[in-house]
Amino acid sequence: MSIEDRAKAAAKNVEGKAQEALGNVTGDPEDKAQGKAKQAESEVRHGIEDVKDNVKKKLD
């Protein structure tokens, strides 16, 4: 498990939520879509870290 990678994923999620909220306030559909995409990317990154953790546990 890389704490640094998990922190980057969490930061990307926060960034995405903020961008989506900005899009909601301004009515900009592009900001909303980009914010949701960043949140999805964050979920994928967390999933990858979970897989890494599981593999490492099985190897130990």
Of 21-25, 31-35, 39-43, 50-54, which range is least confident?
Answer: 50-54
What pLDDT is attached to residue 2? 81
Length of the chain: 60
The model's confidence at residue 1, banded by pLDDT at 50, 70 and 90, is low
Cβ contacts of residue 24 below 8 Å, gap of 6+?
32
Q: What is the average pLDDT score of the chain?
A: 94
